[in-house]
Structure 1
Amino acid sequence: MPEPVLPSTARLLLARTARVQRDGRAPGLVAGVVRDGGLAWSAGRGEVPGPHTDVQYRLGSISKTVTAVVVMRLRDEGLLRLDDPLERHLPGTPFGDRTVGQLLSHLAGASADGPGGWWERTPGGSLDDLGLAETDVVLGAARRFHYSNLGFGLLGELVARLRGRSWDDAVAAEVLAPLGMARTTPRPVAPAAEGRAVHPWADVVLPEPEHHAGVMAAAGQLWASLADLGRFAAFLLGDTADVLDPATLEEMTVPAGVDPSAPGWSAYGLGLQVLRVDGRTLVGHGGSMPGFLAGVFVDREEQTGAVSLANTTSGLDPLVFGLLADLRGAEPRIAEPWVPAPSPVPLESLGVWFWGPSPYVLRSVSGGLLHLGPMPGRSGRASRFSRRDDGTWGGLDGYFAGETLRIAADHLDLDTFVFTRTPYDPAAPVPGGVDEHGWR
């Protein structure tokens, strides 16, 4: 069980939640913060028809992340690759040349929603019922990020085809049950909040319809309790319960097409939103359906998360980011103590190396990794590397992600870049050679 927050922190979190519910005029709002595997604090405000941690609300697009988890399981089992064209697994759509990875990252150029009526307020049918056409392809592949509910509807159908059972059954068996999310279901199971729209100019409400979205269910169908959403936040923090390999979860959090070192960015990984908020990198997903708003975001470095659920169509300020900031300020995570650890390479391989005239430092870091980056106070490219079975080192992040580092006695060989112990060492294999007259 997670250790509860301090009473002073609880008051701070409750005060923020109460303001958001009042100012946003949400009929009902439940929220919580997560650490050590579960809810460390939670509260409900307004009309909550039952114990606030057990009442179901609709998750909306958080369902996309659950869909993505099953797709990544299929990848890890070798049943598909992220570079596979959709046609290989789901033939007959106008997106046949778009890849599974592009669909997961909203880079496939699919229209935001499928043809026909507003799928979020009208019952859905099969893929054939959608009647997809070339006009539903609105952008070229990998041209730009374009959020697409339709793309995740297609991924849900891909899951159903490869698993031989409905999307509902696949996510229940492969994600929800192993994580212990027994109160997460495709349709509401009491106690459940009723979706409401709040009039913009008066304090009156209107019920919103509820239905099964059919083939579009994978984009926004699920309902969950606050306790279950807190469990999903713990999953995003690394408590995967063997649903995913931790390395696969880490892969899902890597932004597609965005430089994560730049301040103030917003991006999308593989089924996960990746945001830079107040200098912190947060991963998770927001959700909205007529009558409901939801959010689950975690700070994987701080090992904390925040969750919220409300039965209102719109008008609510984001709550989870503020809760994370309050928790971090009131109860900052105590860093693990530094302890000595053996270097993964001989000590003589570490230290200063030069790319041309520019000094870089190769050093060992925790986890048996290497880090190559510019000297302190200088700008330049930096990456971490992990050892491969063949003795080389593979780039994990930064400019050299995926590239191969080879360490020799007199130089480093990295993707055609040669680093030497002295600037342009004439005794090392510097590309293009070194002027025979040397420095002058």
Structure 2
Amino acid sequence: MSVQRKYEREFVRTFFTSPTAVQGEDDSAKMIRSAAGLRGIQAPDVWVPDNEDATAPSMRDEGARNIIDVVAEHGADFPGEIHPRVVWHRDDAEKRLAGFEYMREIADPENGAVDHIDGFVIPEVGDIDDWKKADECFQMIEAEHGLEEGSLSMSVIVESGEAEIALNRVRDEMGKPSNTLERMFLLVDGEVDYTKDMRAMTPTGELPEWPELRHNTSKGASAAGLIAVDGPFDNIRDVEGYKERMEANRAKGMTGIWSLTPKQVEVANKAPLPPKDGTWLLEVGGGEVELVSEGGREVYDGDGVSLSESGGSYVLAIDGDEHELTEDELREELLDRTSYVPSMDDIVESMEEFEAAKEAGKGAIAMTQSATLSIDGVEIDLSKDRMWDEATYQAAQTPITLFQDVYEHRPDQHDALAEIYGSDVVERATQVGN
């Protein structure tokens, strides 16, 4: 069954939440007022004025009014999408009613905000019947306010075992006459409440990694044509840990991640994009070491590998073993231990070359990667051939499709992208594959 999607974005990199009302401040809306002014690389793809966990229960009525005031005033100029989070709970009818009333108030056209509201985020959902309850609330709000059916998208936060199981049923339920679940947009992991619901414990009290949850959310999103987003990374100072988490997520097909600060937004906006410069990696000690480009050579500068040459014979010491090798044997050993991370320009150039070959009637071509490695001053030339066919081309296209999606929906980031890659590469990247 084919489901008609209600949104245009193919990718979401950043899901940024901010409290809707802060107690003890002259302006309780200061946090969302500040967030509404974010632009460029610091502005998220999806901004979530958070009238649930980030806002004290006693402040949520004021928080809903703040959403209306700030979005009505600044929403037209905000470069990303706006999806407020309201209260909800699978086991609590009072919270579901409160969530309905908040959405109803915020979406009232007379309040001036709904024209800039793209949808709402529903937390603490349960099984698929609970998702349908939330969807029916959207239907009633749209009907009452004369809004087009499905115009408000619905995103959910997966925070329970029930919700995780429901991920396997979304695809079958979407598009049935009895619901409008085609309005679904994001599937967002909420690992904190999920840990509580699962009654999970670790010796240190830290959250488990939950790679299975992230995989299942990504799988559910892929099956239903939705977008998967990882939960918050609480250690906001651990930039490298945040990047590593995102890299692991992307290997699961999950591009987006929750961002708690504008700095995290900036990091998460950049991380999924192809790198500006290509990088050679050398496998050492079970990990990969980035080589340094110097004067046309790729230089290893570390203590884990040593290489010497005498009379055409080489001695390579690596991972605690010493090998005496001929030049060809050394080259094969290093070829097995090296890999290349292509730059944006590399990917675009390879795609352009394959497109030209396909136009000329060729179904597959060989792409060559070459480099001169330098270890302890000893140099060796490496060359790798990789066959490109249509499947390889399609796989390589994913990061370019992401870039094109960003370029189309975030014109406020055009200058930053040109500064990173150069105008020529940006221009070619927007055209290749079309």
TM-score computed with the length of structure 2 as normaliser: 0.25
Comparing both structures, which one devotes a greater share of its residues to helix?
Answer: 2
Give the number of the structure with larger relative contact order, counting CA–CA contacts within 8 Å between residues 6 or more apart.
Answer: 1
